Amino acid sequence: MNLLNRDKAAILLIMAGMAIYFLLGRIVLMDDGVMYQGFAEALSRGVVDFRSYYGFQGLSILAVPIIWLTQSPNSIVFTSVIFTILSIPLMYLLARNLHASHQAGIIGVILFLLMPYPYVTLMRGFQEAALLFFILLIIYGSTAKKVWTPLAWAIGGIVKPFALTLAPLLLGGSTSKWLKINILLAFLIGGTYLTTSYIQTGHLINNAAINSYQGAFDTGNPPPLVESFAFQVKGFARVAANFLIPSRKILIAPSVILIGLFGLFTLRDRQMRKRFTAVIVLNVLLVGFLTFSFPKYLLPAAVIFLLASIPVFERSRWLWPIVFIDSFFVFKYIYLHFGIEFWPSFPIYLIPYYCGIGLVGYLWFNQIHHQLLSNVKKSNHHPHS
The whole-angstrom distance between residue 334's C-alpha and the CA centroid of its chain comes to 16
Which pLDDT value is given to residue 178?
87
Closest CA to 83 of 169, 22, 31: 22
Q: Which of 52-56, 68-72, 291-295 has the highest mean pLDDT?
A: 68-72
Closest CA to 160 of 182, 185, 191, 129: 129
Q: Which pLDDT tens digit goes with each residue over 100-133?
A: 999 999 999 999 999 999 999 999 999 999 999 9
Model confidence at 209: pLDDT above 90: no
Mean pLDDT (the chain, rounded): 91
Compute how many other C-beta atoms are within 10 angstroms of the C-beta atom of residue 133: 24
Q: Which pLDDT tens digit goes with each residue over 145-184?
A: 999 999 999 999 999 999 999 999 998 666 788 888 999 9
Q: Which pLDDT tens digit goes with each residue over 228-247?
A: 777 889 999 999 999 999 99
Q: Residue count of the chain, please give it.
A: 385
Kindly give, in sequence order, each residue whose CB lies less than 8 Å from that of residue 351, ignoring residues fewer than 6 positions away: 17, 18, 20, 21, 24
Which pLDDT value is given to residue 379?
72
Which pLDDT value is given to residue 177?
86
Rounded to an integer, what distance in angstroms lies between the CA atom of residue 60 and that of residue 39? 6
Give the confidence band of 385 by pLDDT, cuts at 50, 70, 90: very low
What does pTM read for this prediction?
A: 0.94
